[in-house]
Amino acid sequence: MQSRNKFFSILLPLTALFCSAPGHAALFCVNSVAGLNFALAASQDNGQNDQIDIVAGSYALNASGLQFVSSEANSLTIFGGYNADCSQLTTAVTSLNGGSINQVLRVIQSSSATAASIHIERITFIAGKTGVDGGGGLFATAQSGEVRIESNRFLLNHAENYAGAIYINTGGLITLRNNLFYLNSALQMGVGELQTSNSVAYITGNTMINNSAATVTNGIGGLYVASNSGTNFWLSNNILWNNNANGGVDLYAGASVILRNNDIGTSAFVMPNALSQNNQSVDPDFSPCVGLLCSSFELKRGSPLVDAGSDNPPNGLGSTDLPGKLRTIGPHVDIGAFEEDVIFANGYEGGPF
């Protein structure tokens, strides 16, 4: 449970609450699209580090997507999954829906300061769409600040050109951890594109499954990583599987890639690296999931990916998996964004009755 001592002033009735916290930080509590737009606009030039907490629920973006463009040397943090007054985190979902019309969220930090960072967590980006540029779900750029994307779901996003779900470009650190990418699509790079220079990127504990590229020859249905400065991309404990419709690949490397304890179906231009180890290319063996758009990819207890991850990957595991369970349950961490629950590892579902 997370609680905070806040002094709230109502900016928009029933849509946004705001307070200025010690240390020159602004906190917003949002429960509507209007409130979210207000908070993003206010955060662009208020001279403070900003945190926008979104109440759990489904938000249809309708006529336009969400945008934040700032030249200030301050951070932007967006968290989903809060209760009604943002006093406590819950396991409920915050879903931002682009309606297959608009890019869901566009964040641009143009300041060269490393403090101009981006942190987005516990959001479902669904049915975003973009044309010329990338990231139907999320487009995020920073000059030098860290871009950290953790414990989010990207579902059914589309880019008519490249990077269906996510596009990140920064001169700073990239952290992509414990996210799900499912049924996203693009002409190229169904999952998306990550670019960084003069820093390093950590891609840890993600599940990228059934994304696609429309390009028939040499398509990248999955993830493209790139750097113009010899940056290392560390990929640990990820599942990249079945993102190769039309003959494409799950992972395409335009940078130095170090692979540890991943399950990757197909790849291109991944050069051998002495630091890479313990990787697999096997069917993940997911548990059955019911529903038209089921976005739970728990592993079966007998999956070869259970307890097969690296317990100490560079930059850490994170404390919880995507649904909010402990990140390590059992002897070792599992590969992918979902940690398998071993309570019923004896094969019984309870009892005796």
**Same domain assignment for residues 131 and 200:** yes
Q: Are residues 29 and 106 in the same domain?
A: no
84 and 123, same domain (yes or no): no
Confidence of residue 6 (pLDDT cuts 50, 70, 90): very low
What pLDDT score does 347 carry? 43
Rounded-to-integer distance, Cα 299 and Cα 286, Å: 4
β partners of residue 82:
55, 89
The count of domains in the chain is: 2
- Write down the pLDDT at residue 134: 94
Same domain, 11 and 82: yes
Say if residue 202 is in the same domain as residue 268.
yes
Are the C-beta atoms of 127 and 99 separated by less than 8 Å? yes
**Using CA atoms, how far apart are residues 123 and 93, in angstroms rounded to an integer?**
7
At residue 289, the pLDDT reads 81
Per-residue pLDDT tens over the stretch 179-217: 999 999 999 999 999 999 878 999 999 999 999 999 877
Please, which pLDDT band fits residue 20 given cuts at 50, 70 and 90?
A: low
Structural domain contains residue 188: yes
Residue 351 belongs to a domain: no
The arithmetic mean of pLDDT across residues 168-175, rounded, is 96
Q: Do 254 and 163 share a structural domain?
A: yes
Evaluate whether 187 touches 160 at the Cβ level (below 8 Å): yes
Tell me, yes or no, whether 88 and 121 share the same domain: no
pLDDT of residue 326: 94
Domain endpoint, select from 42, 76, 95:
95
Pair (227, 116) in one structural domain: yes
Residue 352 falls inside a structural domain = no
Q: How confident is the model at residue 19 (pLDDT cuts 50, 70, 90)?
A: low
Is residue 296 in some structural domain? Answer: yes
Q: To the nearest whole number, what is the mean pLDDT of the chain?
A: 89
Please check whether residue 103 lies inside any domain of the structure.
yes
Please determine, for residue 245, whether its predicted confidence score (pLDDT) is greater than 80. no
What mean pLDDT is predicted for residues 213-223? 87
Which of the listed residues 78, 95, 112 is the one where a domain comes to its end?
A: 95
In which domain, by residue range, is 112 found? 98-341
Are 72 and 110 in the same domain?
A: no
Is residue 158 in some structural domain?
A: yes
Residue 304 forms part of a structural domain: yes
Mean pLDDT along residues 28-36: 97
Range in 98-102, 155-159, 244-248, 298-302 the model is least confident about: 244-248
Q: Tell me what the mean pLDDT of segment 231-250 comes to.
A: 91
Average pLDDT over residues 276-287: 97
Q: Are residues 102 and 45 in the same domain?
A: no
Is there a contact between 252 and 269 (Cβ–Cβ < 8 Å)? yes
pLDDT tens, 68-115? 999 999 999 999 999 999 999 999 999 999 999 999 999 999 999 999
Residue finishing a domain among 95, 130, 147: 95
Q: Would you say residue 346 lies in a domain?
A: no
Whether residue 87 sits in one domain with residue 102: no
Identity of the residue numbered 223: L
Q: Which of 47, 49, 112, 48 is nearest to 77 (CA)?
A: 49
Say which residue, 43 or 24, is predicted with more confidence: 43
pTM over 0.75: yes
In terms of domains, do 277 and 219 share one? Answer: yes
